[in-house]
Structure 1
């Protein structure tokens, strides 16, 4: 009897799973009809019946099951006091950073890495320079700093060319530090990730620098001292489970 019940429940599970997948596929098809240029990475049911999560890179929005109504904003579980949208976005940010790869970043490593922070930076930003002037303090706290370029003035500007030149230098870390002290790097050009990093920062909603992404995928806008940053990251480690995308490599 138990075997019969178990088999029935298993069959029901497969049926429900297939129905969910079919519904998500129908939503995706409806989206294509209404917004043919939209190319979602995934479409999944949201916690609200009849509303679906649509993920595109590091962006998340919600759509009705007929694909007609699109909603942008945060979904909050009032009972549990949890921002469900931000939790999803945090994982998406880490996935995007993971896809870019640490080899496309300028990395300052401590002797023993306890935490990882991604920092979108502008060579000419005052608070970005302040942060890097204290790099030894971050390293002393065991925080590995992974820099990505975000020249706020945009492509083909002085700050942009400085970022490219630093990337193309023989010793990127040394060139980066010199540029942060105000030295203008010798103009160089080569294959570089600056445009990709600028686009990623925009996708994350950057409107200033420095912008710090923690190893949990949360955004900390602006300069955060090393002692404060390590406290934030330790608290996050205690409060939250590891997101799907790995923060440390």
Structure 2
């Protein structure tokens, strides 16, 4: 006859077996999905394959990109999935988190940062030194700082590696005072060219993965991407909406 203690031990053991089986199943399905994606996207390696709250559907991340794949690895969904009860856009929420993880992977030490004295929010801006609206945004730096918004710059010279815009980005990075050099370059002044190890191509590769086509491209601190120039007061309002 089983005592209550014996039943409790039995129950815990059964739960442990079920949990292990579930873990193995998830691992097997993730491996199936990775193998399927490798056939059609051999140049990309998923950074994460995780089950979603929807039975049989997995969330796949490739850096900042997010897609959804069925557990058998046959069907891929690249679009909005909306929870009709909560009205949450599950896809966009996932993309925002993936963008932030990818940006964190770059590291703030590999950005040109203009930190607000009383920081309330931090935005990441993909910038091209020769882009007119990028220069307009930089001209408003005092307004962003006054609104408590720190600006972290990533370089995205749209004309590509080896172009004059690319060379200016490298010169800014290699300058003794990067913030001052960025301001000079965006005002049209020449920055003395120096060669050094720099993250410009890494910034550009991340921008490509994020699907950036124009600059400035602003990533808010909740991961939402906002294309184009946004003046300080409006940007502060957008950021506050993201908090609430």
Flag whether TM exceeds 0.5 (same fold): yes
What TM-score do you get using the length of structure 1 for normalisation? 0.87
SS in 1 for 2:122: strand
SS in 2 for 1:155: coil
SS in 2 for 1:22: helix
Which residue of structure 2 lines up, in the alignment, with residue 210 of structure 1? 216
1:151 and 2:157 aligned: yes
Following TM superposition, by how much is the alpha carbon of 1:84 offset from its aligned partner in structure 2, in angstroms? 0.9
Which of residues 3, 10, 15 in structure 1 aligns to 2:8? 3
SS in 2 for 1:170: coil
**Separation of aligned partners in 2, 1:209 and 1:222:** 6
Written as runs of structure 1 = structure 2, the 5 A alignment for 1:59-208 is 59-208=65-214
Query: Structure 1 regions of 5+ residues with no counterpart?
Result: 239-249
Structure 1 residues 131, 38: CA separation in 2 closer, same or farther (over 3 Å shift)?
A: closer
Structure 1 residues 205, 37: CA separation in 2 closer, same or farther (over 3 Å shift)?
A: closer
Aligned structure 1 segments of 4 or more residues deviating by more than 6 angstroms: none
The two structures, once aligned, show a CA RMSD in angstroms of: 2.1
Structure 1 or 2, whichever has the larger Rg, is 2
CA deviations 1:201-249 (Å, max 9, x no partner) are 11111111111111111101111111111111112112xxxxxxxxxxx
Structure 1 residues 69, 113: CA separation in 2 closer, same or farther (over 3 Å shift)?
A: same
**Separation of aligned partners in 2, 1:95 and 1:230:** 22
Counterpart contact for 1:34–1:68, Cα < 8 Å: no
Query: Structure 2 regions of 5+ residues with no counterpart?
Result: none
Which residue of structure 2 lines up, in the alignment, with residue 18 of structure 1? 24
SS in 2 for 1:186: coil
**Separation of aligned partners in 2, 1:222 and 1:213:** 11
**Separation of aligned partners in 1, 2:125 and 2:34:** 34
CA deviations 1:163-187 (Å, max 9, x no partner) are 1111111111111101111112222
Following TM superposition, by how much is the alpha carbon of 1:68 offset from its aligned partner in structure 2, in angstroms? 3.3
Q: Which moved more, 1:56-65 or 1:93-102?
A: 56-65
What TM-score do you get using the length of structure 2 for normalisation? 0.88
Which residue of structure 1 lines up, in the alignment, with residue 228 of structure 2? 222
Matched positions, count: 238
